[in-house]
Homo-oligomer: A and B are copies of this chain.
């Protein structure tokens, strides 16, 4: 196994030379007995060492009284004892030189306080012994190719499981192993499957990092309820792009109800779904939402052909299917450009006069008499079209299908553009043809919508891979170096003026403003700033100024200014008699398109910047995007493009194009501010930031920074 900085070497855990079964039972239906059957009946070539002082032998194997008496090499101890005994056995593993332990036993953090204490003891034992532990409360792991079925549960006993270049890491063993069985039924072999259980030591991310490094793994699948190290997820995503090994990620626990359920069954806390999605977008992840898309996408990926662009040709002998596939392509972000003139001319030479030589190509029921030779010719000509990156094909059925398939497979073998088949009939109609095609690396998907969805998902992965490859040399540039900030020791909210000072230190433009004592305002004989002005209370104790009634806008003359100052001071007193008042903030009114820039220090993902249009866009339509800080201006531009309302920035309804460069610059600077000071800054809220026409910049009209204690 090539080791990568973030990946532990777990090769021997997955392919052990010997496995000791601690708590072995001679009742082969029990948790301590099932692994003995599994490791002796499915071709495992390593040694199996039952450990239990009660027995001399189990199922013909010598049984050992304890781990110290187990012969070496023994790479894995599978532990099926009652929870209370587990920490001690881990220490025993350490003494016996067994590097890995697989703890099936339940009764740890998933069962409340008492179990949590036990899990803490287990973690202690891990640290003390140096043994790497998977589990507890897990179903085990699979390496089908080597016959390693290390675990328990009926699904592991199925002889229909099949190997393939895929590794699955699952935080739900019961569900995940079910998926392994289902995928096998649909022709997708998952060789490695790891149920991570409570993750007292090794986490799903450890396994993901390790398995994508394995030379026999081309695709990883992760069923995740929650992870605690968001930055590592990002790192693994980048590594996946670097290796060209996509990770199909199935994230659950995304709604309030789902999250509550996730917490109740494994006590796993989890960040907001939107942060996961932001992480997935940046790496070699393909999000899946059901078993079908998982299977379909694996099939398309297994063909090892990535498209160079998102242009699709649809070829079908059924007009209706062509219409449907065209619809779905457009809906999924793929394009169906016209065929090039030369391709059209070529096709016109031999297709039937009633065929539609457009895209979709509807060949009508021709070709029945030549074993679809002309259909293959057409497919080849369309694949050669420079306008086309890939083809979706409705396969022919019937008596000619066998010959057609043979010729088709030969033809596409050396063509680097992907071709995906949508099967037009029942899976049991010409089933041998489907089998032949799949055995020869041609993806066949049954339902048309699913066909397009799988191809679109692979296109999105391919796009990211191209972007990664194109930009991997590029250094991220800082618009401003780390700034020393003058921050109070205490946690809590800073007033608006102080908050803006922090933004200014990082070069984010703010409105012109001046903080004055109420008495000083009374004595003014002219305005310190040009009208119109806004007047606000500056107080760390009144973060929601509008709601507290301590803001006055559009002040046009000196009298109004003084009046407003008196009003806001009085309103502040009424709102909260104990509020500290640092003065009255007099600032210039600003205008432009209202956007919101936020930043938080997420417990799992670290500093994150949020961006959205103001008002209802953010609050009602949830049109917000997230990116992990720090990031540079280029990344900020990508981020801006991610919101649905981005069109407003380009000059909406004849309005001028807005200053997207300045906006991107401000976003990047906010990301630097929070990431340079993660130990102190908990939250930043710039609301609103006004974006002005191109060349005129942006300006923060209000801001709020929340500090945490050092």
Which residues does chain B contribute within 8 Å of A648, judged by CB atoms? Answer: 616, 620
Q: Report the nearest B residue to A362, measured CB to CB.
A: B265
Would you call B185 and A319 a contact (CB within 8 A)? Answer: no
- Do A178 and B424 have beta carbons less than 8 Å apart? yes
The interface residues of chain B lying within 8 Å CB-to-CB of A398 are: 154
Chain B contacts of A321 at CB under 8 A? 172, 174-175, 178
Chain A 247-270 residues near chain B, CB threshold 8 A: 252-258, 260-262, 264-266
Closest-by-CB residue of B relative to A290 is B449
The CA-CA distance from A450 to B294 in the complex, in Å, is 13
Interface CB pairs A-B, < 8 A, 14: A172-B321, A175-B321, A175-B424, A178-B424, A181-B425, A257-B329, A257-B330, A257-B359, A264-B362, A265-B322, A265-B356, A292-B292, A615-B653, A616-B645
Chain B residues within an 8 Å CB radius of A172:
318-321, 323
Set of chain B residues within 8 Å of A261, measured between Cβ atoms: 319, 322-323, 326, 356, 358, 360, 362
Knowing that A223-B320, A225-B320, A619-B653 are A-B contacts, what are 11 other residue pairs whose CB atoms are under 8 Å apart, sorted by A's residue number? A154-B425, A175-B318, A175-B320, A175-B321, A225-B323, A256-B330, A258-B327, A258-B330, A261-B323, A265-B362, A621-B621
Give the distance to chain B from A629, nearest Cβ to Cβ, in Å: 28
Nearest B-chain residue to A152, judged by Cβ: B365
A558 within 8 A of B: no
Q: 4 tightest CB-CB pairs across the interface, nearest first?
A: A172-B320, A265-B319, A174-B318, A290-B449
Interface members, chain A 133-166 (any B CB < 8 Å) = 154-155, 158, 160
The one of B173, B178, B329, B448 that contacts A291, using a Cβ cutoff of 8 Å: B448
Chain B residues with CB under 8 A of A171: 320
Interface size on A, residues (CB 8 A): 83
A557 within 8 A of B: no
Least distance between A14 CB and chain B CB atoms (Å): 22
Cα separation A253 to B648 with both chains bound (whole Å)? 29
- Interface membership of A182, Cβ < 8 A: yes
Number of copies: 2
Interface set, chain A 333-382, CB cutoff 8 A to B: 336, 354, 356, 358-360, 362, 365
Select which of B181, B323, B446 is within 8 A of A252 by beta carbon: B323
Interface residues of A in 446-492 (CB under 8 A from B): 446-450
Complex Cα distance, B321 from A356, in Å, reads 46
Q: Smallest CB–CB gap between A640 and chain B, Å?
A: 15
Interface flags for A229-263 (1: CB within 8 Å of B; 0: not) read 00000000000000000000000111111101110
- Bound Cα distance from A336 to B260, whole angstroms: 12
- Taking CB atoms and an 8 Å cut-off, the chain A residues in 413-447 that contact chain B are 424-429, 446-447
For residue A170, CB closer than 8 A to chain B, the reply is yes
- Asked whether any CB of chain B lies closer than 8 Å to the CB of A110, the reply is yes
Interface status of A111 (Cβ within 8 A of chain B): yes
Instruction: Indicate if A23 sits at the interface (CB-CB under 8 A).
Output: no
Closest B residue, CB atoms, query A424: B178
Q: Given A358-B264, A621-B621, is A319 in contact with B449 using a C-beta cutoff of 8 Å?
A: no
Instruction: Specify which of B170, B291, B644, B653 is in contact with A447 (CB 8 Å cutoff).
Output: B291
Kindly list chain B residues whose C-beta atoms are within 8 Å of the C-beta of A354: 106, 110-111
Query: Does chain B have a CB within 8 A of A274?
Result: no
* Measured CA separation A174–B359 after assembly (Å): 18
Chain B residues with Cβ under 8 A from A184's Cβ? 426
Q: Is the CB of A174 within 8 A of B320?
A: yes
Most buried by B among A182, A621, A647, A653: A182
A575 within 8 A of B: no
| Cross-chain contact A265 with B185 (CB below 8 angstroms) | no
Q: A545 contacts the other chain (Cβ, under 8 Å)?
A: no
Q: Which residues of B contact A284 (CB under 8 A)?
A: none
Q: How many whole Å from A78's CB to the nearest CB in chain B?
A: 18
A447 and B290 contact, CB distance less than 8 A: yes
A427-B182 in contact given A258-B327, A648-B620 (Cβ < 8 Å): yes
Give the complex CA separation of A327 and B320 in angstroms: 34
Contact A327 B257 (CB under 8 A): yes
CA distance A429 to B153 in the complex (A): 13
A141 to chain B, nearest CB (A): 16
Q: Nearest residue in B to A107 (C-beta to C-beta)?
A: B354
Which listed residue, B155, B185, B253, touches A327 by the CB 8 Å rule?
A: B253
A634 within 8 A of B: no
Whether the pair B182, A425 counts as a contact (CB closer than 8 A) is: yes
Most buried by B among A184, A323, A362: A323
